[in-house]
Amino acid sequence: MFGANSILGIGRTGLNAAQAAISVTSENIANVDTDGYSRRTIRFEDAYNIDYSPGQVGTGVWAAEIQRHFDQYIENQYYNQATMRDRWETLYGSLQSAESLFNEASGYGISKSISNFFTSWSDLTQQPDEASSRSAVVESSKTLISTLHQADSDLTLMQQQADLSITKQVGEVNDLLKQIADLNTQIKVHDVANSNNANTLYDSRSTLVRKLSGYLDINYIDKGDGNLCITTKAGQTLVDNDQTFNLSYDAPQSTPALSANSTFNGNMYFSGSDNLEYTAEIMTAGDVSDGATAATYKLSVDGGKTWLTNEDGTTKVFNARPQGSAVDVGSINLWFGNSDDPATTPTTTLTAGDRFNIVPKRALYWNENTSTKENITPSTNSSGVDNSSRLVGGTLTALFNFKDDYIGSYREKLNAVAKTAIWETNRLHSQGSGTKPFSNMVGTYSVTDDTRALGSGSSGLIFGDKLTSGSSMMYVYNTSTGKLVSGAALDFDGTAGMPQFNFNPNINSLDDVAEAVNNTFGTYLNASVVNHQLTISAKDGYQFAMGTDTTGLYAALGLNTYFTGSDCADMGINDKVTSDTDYLAAGHVNGAGEMNKGDITTATAIAGLTSKNVAISTVRDGTVEQSLVKYYDGLVGTVGADTAQAKFNYSYKNTLASDLNDRQQATSGVNLDEEMTSLIKYQHAYTAAAKLITTADQMLQTLLSLKS
C-alpha cells in the first residue's frame, strides 16, 4: 500500500483538487464586479483511509464542496435598513418637487397673492366709487384664483404621477415574487447539502430579495431545504416555497364589519373621491331613513382612534340616510343601501357597534385568495406614526405616503384656504351693497333636494354646515325715485301653524326660503327655485338690496356674493360682479335703508380679514382659529419641515444600510489581492501534485528496469 501506485493515486486526487480550487478562484476573479455574486471557496476533505501496518494510509484529498460566503444574519438587518432608506430617499426626492411649488422667496407666491387680494380691498376704501379701484379688486382676485388653481393642479399632477408609479411597481413586485418562488423550486432540485451547493441560484435569489426589500418591508424566513418564506413586516405572506400571494392596486370600495348580533343586510356606499380612508361606527341603533328613527353614526379617518368633531369640539353625529339624501362629508357623499343594490333602502336595522370601512381611493391589497384580501395601503396618522398593520417600508410606502398623506394633506389645507377665503369674503359681501340695487339675482350655490332642511348635511348645499338660526334683512326700492319702499327680515312660517319669524337651518328648506321672500316682499319681488338654485326678480318699478344676515343664508345660497365655488379647482368670481363692478359691495344698507356710494363698511371688513382669526377646517386636523395668511404660511413651513425630515431620515438610514452592506461585502465580496494569493497557492499545489505523479512514474520505471 506504500507503493508507487498509491503515490500515483494521491497525486491524481491532488491534481483534481488543485484544479477545482484554481477553477473556483478564477471564477471569483472573473466576477469581481458582478452584482449579487458571492465569493466562493473549496472545502477540502481528507480522502478515505486504509488500515495497514504500521498504520492507516491515506489515499489523497477530495474537493468536498464549493462553499458560498454569505452572512444571512447581516443581510436580514440590511433588508430592514435598506427598505427604510429607499422609502425616505424616494419621499425626499418627491417632496423636493412639492416644496418648490410653495417657494415664496420670489415674492410672487400664494402668500403674496392673498396679501395683494386683501390690500386691494383696503385700497378700495380710499376711493370706493372709482371704477379703477373696483377693477383692481377684481384683477387681484383673478391673480389669487389663478395662483391657487395652478398650485392645486400641480399637486394633482404629482398625485397622478405617483399613481402611475405605484401601478408599475405593484406589477414589478408580483413579478419578483414569482421569480423567487421559481428559484425556490430550482434550489430544491439542484441543492444537495454538503455536496452540490446551488450557489448561483442562491445568489440569484438573494439579489431578487434585495430588490423586493426596496419596494416594501419584508421578513426573511428560511425553512431549510431551499424553502424560503417571505412576509411583510405586518405578517402577510408573499412567498412560501413555490406559492405566491399577489398584491393588487384596486379601485375605491367599501366593506362592512358588522357586530356579531347584527342582522343588517346592507352596506355603506359613497360617491366622490378622497385621499383619506373613513371608518363609520353606528352609535345608536335604528333604520335607514329620512326620519327620526334613523340610526346615527360617527366617522374616523384614523381607523377609529379618534372621531370627527364639530367646530366646538363635540363628536360629529350623522344620520343613516338612503341614497336620495346622502350625507356630505369632506369631498364624498355617504349613504346606506342594500348589499346588492346601493339605490335600494335596506329594510333591516343597524346595530350599535356595526362598522363600515370606506376607501374612496385606489388602494393596495394583499390577496390571500380570489375571495379574501386585506388592505395594506401604507398610512400615517396626524402625528406621522405609521400604521404597523400596513406596509411601512420601501418605495411603495413612499409613493403612497407622498400621494395620500403629504400631497393629500397639502391639497386639503390649500383647499381650506380657498374655501375659507370664499366663505368669509362672501359672508361679508352678501350683506353689503354696491353702487346700485339689483333687478334680479340668481344664487350661485345649489341643493340636491329643494324640500330638505338646508342645514341637514344631506341638502347638498356646500356651505350648509355654516348656517345658523337668525334673521336675514332685505330692502326694496322704487326704481324711479330710488326711495326705500320696504325693508324687513324674511318671515318664515313655522310648522303646525305656529309662527316662526327667524330662519332655522334644521327646519327650513330652499323652497321655504323662496316662500319667505314671497311672503315678506311678494308685492315687489318674486322668488322661485330654478334648477335647485334660488332666483329673485324684482317686479316692474322696483329694485332690491340685501342687508344684515345673521344666519349666513345669503352667503350659503350665493346671493349677492363675490366668489363662486368652494375650493381651488372651481373658485371663481361672480359673473354679476365681473360684468358690472357697480355690484361689487364696498358699502352696506344703513339703518335708514340707504345705499351710499361713499360707504366703505364692507370693503373695510373684507380688508380686515388679512389679520382676523377665522375658523379654518380640514377633515384631518379639525378646526383652527387663525388668519388666512398665517395659516398658509404655516402650510409652507410644514412642507419645508416635511422635506427636511425626509432628508434627515434618508441620510440616517442610508448610513446604517451602507454600513451593513459593507459588512456583507467583507464576507461575500471578492478581494483581488486575496484571490491572486490563493491562485498562486493552488498553482503551487497543482505543480506539487504533478511532481508526485512524476515521482511515482520514475519509481515505476525503476521497478520495471529491475525486471529486465
548-558 confidence digits (pLDDT tens): 999 999 999 99
Backbone dihedral angles phi then psi of residue 54, each to the nearest 5 degrees: -95, 5
Buried b (16+ CB within 10 A) or exposed e, 288-306: bbbeeebbebbbbbbeeee
Question: pTM for the whole thing?
Answer: 0.91
Q: What is the mean pLDDT of residues 611-618?
A: 94
pLDDT of res. 703: 79
- pLDDT tens digit sequence for 519-530: 999 999 999 999
Q: Residue type for 598, please?
A: G
The length of the chain is 708
Asked if the model's pLDDT at residue 396 lies above 70, the reply is yes
- Name which of 259, 270, 376 is nearest 323 in CA terms: 270
How crowded is residue 211: how many other Cβ atoms within 10 Å of its Cβ? 15
pLDDT, residue 14, reads 85
Q: Is pLDDT at 422 greater than 90 in this prediction?
A: yes
- Asked if residue 352 lies in contact with residue 284, where contact means CB atoms within 8 angstroms, the answer is yes
8-48 pLDDT per residue, tens: 888 888 888 889 899 999 999 999 999 999 999 999 888 87
pLDDT confidence tier of residue 693, bands split at 50, 70 and 90: confident
**All residues at 6 or more sequence positions from 602 whose CB lies less than 8 Å from its CB, including other chains:** 428, 429, 431, 432, 433, 585, 586, 587, 588
Please state, in angstroms and as integers, the Cα–Cα distance from residue 378 to each residue in 232, 337, 374, 385, 392, following that order.
Answer: 12, 29, 12, 11, 6
Name the grid cell of 675: 484571490
Percent of the chain with pLDDT over 70: 97
**CA distance readout (Å), 466 to 241, 378, 461, 501:** 59, 34, 10, 20
CB 610 within 8 A of CB 627: yes
State the amino acid at position 190 in one-letter form.
H
Check residue 495 and give its pLDDT. Answer: 45
Residue 497, pLDDT score:
45
pLDDT beyond 80 at 588: yes
Confidence at 707, pLDDT banded by 50, 70, 90? low
Query: How would residue 498 be classed by pLDDT, with cut points 50, 70 and 90?
Result: very low
Q: What's the mean pLDDT when you consider all of the chain?
A: 92
Model confidence over 239-279: pLDDT tens digits? 999 999 999 999 999 999 999 999 999 999 999 999 999 99
Between the CA of residue 685 and those of 9, 15, 61, 674, what are the distances in Å? 15, 8, 12, 16
Q: Which grid cell is 688?
A: 506539487
Q: What is the per-residue pLDDT for 698? A: 85
Beta bridge partners of 337: 267
Residues paired with 141 in a beta bridge: none
Sorting pLDDT into bands at 50, 70 and 90, what band is 708?
Answer: low
* pLDDT confidence band for 58 (50 / 70 / 90): confident
Mean pLDDT, range 291-300, rounded to an integer = 94
Confidence (pLDDT) at 704 = 79
Grid cell, residue 100, equals 418648490
Report the pLDDT averaged over residues 102-125.
89
- Return the closest-CA partner of residue 406 out of 95, 154, 151: 95
Name the pLDDT band for 611 (thresholds 50, 70, 90): very high
pLDDT of residue 700: 82
| Cell, residue 288 | 335607514
Please report which confidence band the pLDDT of residue 706 belongs to, taking 50, 70 and 90 as the band edges: confident
Q: Which stretch of DSSP H or E encloses residue 301? A: none
Q: Which residues 6+ apart lie within 8 Å of 193 measured at CB?
A: none
Q: What's the confidence (pLDDT) of residue 312? A: 82
Q: What value does the mean pLDDT take over residues 620-638?
A: 93
Residue type, 342: P
User: Kindly report the CA angle at 216 between 215 and 222, in degrees rounded to 5?
Assistant: 110
Average pLDDT over residues 572-599: 93
Q: What is the pLDDT, as a whole number, of residue 61?
A: 87
Span 635-658, mean pLDDT?
96
pLDDT at 2: 61
The answer to whether 40 and 68 are in contact (CB under 8 A) is yes
Say yes or no to pLDDT of 363 above 50: yes
End-to-end CA distance of the chain: 24
Cell reading at 537: 326678480
Beta strands 614-618 and 57-58, pairing class:
unpaired
132-158: pLDDT as tens digits: 999 999 999 999 999 999 999 999 999
> Residue 41 corresponds to which cell in the numbers above?
471557496
| pLDDT score of 202 more than 60 | yes
Q: Identify the sign of the CA torsion 395, 401, 407, 410.
A: negative
